[in-house]
Structure 1
Amino acid sequence: MTEQRDVAPFPTPGARPADLPDLVGRLARRDPDRVAIHERTADGLVAVTRGELWQRVRALAEELRGRGVDAGDAVAVWMPNWTEALVWQCAVAARGGHVVGINTRYGVEEATHVLARARPVLVALAHGFHGLDLASRLRAAVEGSGVRPQVALVRGDGTTPDVGGLGTWTPERTDGPEPERSDPDRLAVAFTTSGSTGLPKLAAHTGAAVLTHAVAGAAALGLTEDDVMLGALPLSGVFGYNAVLAGLAAGGAALLEPVFDADDTLDDMAAVGVTHLASGDDLGLRLVEAQRERPRDLSSWRWWGVADFQGRSHELAAWLDGLGVATAGVYGSSEVFALAATWPLSEPIPQRWAGGGRVVHPGIEVRVQGGPGVEGELEFRGPNVVDAYLGASPETFTDDGWFRSGDLGVVVDEGAFVYVCRAGDALRLRGFLVDPAEIELRLAAHPAVHTAKVVGIEGPDGGSVAVGFVTLDAPATADDLRAWCAATLAAFKVPAAVHVIDEMPTTSGTNGSKIRTGVLAALAREHSRSLQRP
Structure 2
Amino acid sequence: MTLADLLADVVATRPDAVLVIDGEDDVRVTRGEFLARTVALRDALRERGIGHGDCVGVMLPNWSDALVWQFAAAALGAHVIGINTRYGVGDVAHVLERARPTVVAVADDFLGIDLSGRLRDALPEAGAPAPQVAVVAGPGRPPVTADAAARHDVGAGTWVPPEAAGPLPDADALRGGPDALAVAFTTSGSTGRPKLAAHLSSGVATHARNVAAAGGWDEDSVSLVVLPLSGVFGYVPALAAIAAGGAALLEPRFDPARTLRDMARHGVTHLACADDISGRLMEAWHAQPVDLPAWRRLLIADFYGSSGAVAAWAEDETGTPTCGVYGSSELFALMSFWQPALPRPERWRGGGELVSDAIEVRAVDLFTGEPITGDEPGELQFRGYHVVDGYLGDHDGAIRAAAFTDDGWFRSGDLGTARPDGSFVYLNRIGDALRLKGFLVDPAEIENRLAAHPDVGRTKVVGITAAGETRAIAFVEPTEGATPDPAALREWCAATLARFKVPDTVHVIPEMPTTVGTNGSKIRAAALRELAEQLAGSNPG
Normalising by structure 1, what TM-score? 0.93
> Does the aligned pair in 2 maintain the 1:278–1:304 contact within 8 Å?
yes
Partner of 2:368: none
How many pairs were matched up?
513
Where in structure 2 are the equivalents of 1:224-303 lying within 5 Å? 224-303=218-297
Partner of 1:375: 377
Listed one character per residue, the Cα deviations across residues 32-71 of structure 1 (whole Å, up to 9, x for unaligned) are 1101111123xx4111111111110011001001111011
Partner of 1:11: none
Matched residue type, 2:343: P
Partner of 2:308: 314
Matched residue type, 1:196: S
485-494 or 226-235: bigger deviation: 485-494
CA displacement at 1:428 relative to structure 2: 1.4
161-170 or 365-374: bigger deviation: 161-170
Residue of 331, 340, 347 corresponding to 1:336: 331
> Does the aligned pair in 1 maintain the 2:132–2:154 contact within 8 Å?
no
464-473 or 169-178: bigger deviation: 169-178
Change (3 A) 1:294 1:463: same
1:478 has 2:486 as partner: yes
> Does the aligned pair in 2 maintain the 1:372–1:413 contact within 8 Å?
no
> Does the aligned pair in 2 maintain the 1:78–1:104 contact within 8 Å?
yes
C-alpha distance in 2 between matches for 1:487 and 1:530: 29
CA displacement at 1:439 relative to structure 2: 0.8
What SS does the aligned partner of 1:129 have?
coil
C-alpha distance in 2 between matches for 1:163 and 1:516: 36
1:327 has 2:345 as partner: no
C-alpha distance in 1 between matches for 2:154 and 2:203: 36
What SS does the aligned partner of 1:130 have?
coil
Normalising by structure 2, what TM-score? 0.92
CA displacement at 1:500 relative to structure 2: 1.1
Partner of 1:465: 471
> Does the aligned pair in 1 maintain the 2:515–2:523 contact within 8 Å?
yes
How many percent identity over aligned positions?
A: 56
CA displacement at 1:162 relative to structure 2: 4.7
CA displacement at 1:438 relative to structure 2: 0.7
Partner of 2:156: 166
Partner of 1:22: 5
Partner of 1:71: 52
What SS does the aligned partner of 1:137 have?
helix
Listed as ranges, the gaps of 5+ residues in structure 2 are 139-143, 365-371
> Does the aligned pair in 1 maintain the 2:323–2:348 contact within 8 Å?
yes
Where in structure 2 are the equivalents of 1:17-166 lying within 5 Å? 18-41=1-24, 44-147=25-128, 148-155=130-137, 159=148, 160-166=150-156
What SS does the aligned partner of 2:468 have?
coil
CA displacement at 1:489 relative to structure 2: 1.4
C-alpha distance in 1 between matches for 2:178 and 2:382: 22
326-335 or 161-170: bigger deviation: 161-170
C-alpha distance in 1 between matches for 2:540 and 2:29: 60
Change (3 A) 1:226 1:311: same
Residue of 468, 491, 498 corresponding to 2:499: 491
Matched residue type, 2:386: N
Residue of 416, 425, 432 corresponding to 1:418: 425
Residue of 388, 391, 403 corresponding to 2:410: 403
C-alpha distance in 2 between matches for 1:366 and 1:384: 12
> Does the aligned pair in 2 maintain the 1:96–1:182 contact within 8 Å?
no
CA displacement at 1:198 relative to structure 2: 2.2
Where in structure 2 are the equivalents of 1:434-473 lying within 5 Å? 434-459=441-466, 461-473=467-479
C-alpha distance in 1 between matches for 2:126 and 2:208: 33
Partner of 2:141: none
CA displacement at 1:96 relative to structure 2: 0.9
What SS does the aligned partner of 1:377 have?
strand
CA displacement at 1:174 relative to structure 2: 1.8
C-alpha distance in 2 between matches for 1:131 and 1:426: 42
C-alpha distance in 2 between matches for 1:377 and 1:363: 20
CA displacement at 1:24 relative to structure 2: 1.8
485-494 or 87-96: bigger deviation: 485-494
C-alpha distance in 2 between matches for 1:175 and 1:405: 46
> Does the aligned pair in 2 maintain the 1:93–1:182 contact within 8 Å?
no
C-alpha distance in 1 between matches for 2:374 and 2:312: 29
274-283 or 523-532: bigger deviation: 523-532
Partner of 2:367: none
C-alpha distance in 2 between matches for 1:413 and 1:51: 45
C-alpha distance in 1 between matches for 2:276 and 2:426: 18
> Does the aligned pair in 2 maintain the 1:138–1:163 contact within 8 Å?
no
What SS does the aligned partner of 1:131 have?
coil
> Does the aligned pair in 1 maintain the 2:39–2:174 contact within 8 Å?
no
> Does the aligned pair in 1 maintain the 2:75–2:178 contact within 8 Å?
no
Partner of 1:349: 344
> Does the aligned pair in 2 maintain the 1:193–1:203 contact within 8 Å?
yes
284-293 or 126-135: bigger deviation: 126-135
Listed one character per residue, the Cα deviations across residues 201-247 of structure 1 (whole Å, up to 9, x for unaligned) are 01100010001000000000121101111111111001111111111
After superposition, the CA RMSD in angstroms is 1.6
138-147 or 353-362: bigger deviation: 138-147
C-alpha distance in 2 between matches for 1:242 and 1:168: 30
CA displacement at 1:180 relative to structure 2: 5.5
C-alpha distance in 2 between matches for 1:127 and 1:414: 50
> Does the aligned pair in 2 maintain the 1:505–1:515 contact within 8 Å?
yes
> Does the aligned pair in 2 maintain the 1:39–1:256 contact within 8 Å?
yes
Partner of 1:12: none
1:362 has 2:357 as partner: yes
C-alpha distance in 2 between matches for 1:303 and 1:512: 19
Matched residue type, 1:398: T
CA displacement at 1:112 relative to structure 2: 0.6
CA displacement at 1:161 relative to structure 2: 2.5
> Does the aligned pair in 1 maintain the 2:76–2:178 contact within 8 Å?
no
CA displacement at 1:432 relative to structure 2: 1.4
> Does the aligned pair in 1 maintain the 2:79–2:183 contact within 8 Å?
yes
287-296 or 473-482: bigger deviation: 473-482
Listed as ranges, the gaps of 5+ residues in structure 1 are 1-17
C-alpha distance in 2 between matches for 1:182 and 1:97: 14
C-alpha distance in 1 between matches for 2:156 and 2:48: 14
> Does the aligned pair in 1 maintain the 2:133–2:152 contact within 8 Å?
no
Change (3 A) 1:385 1:52: same
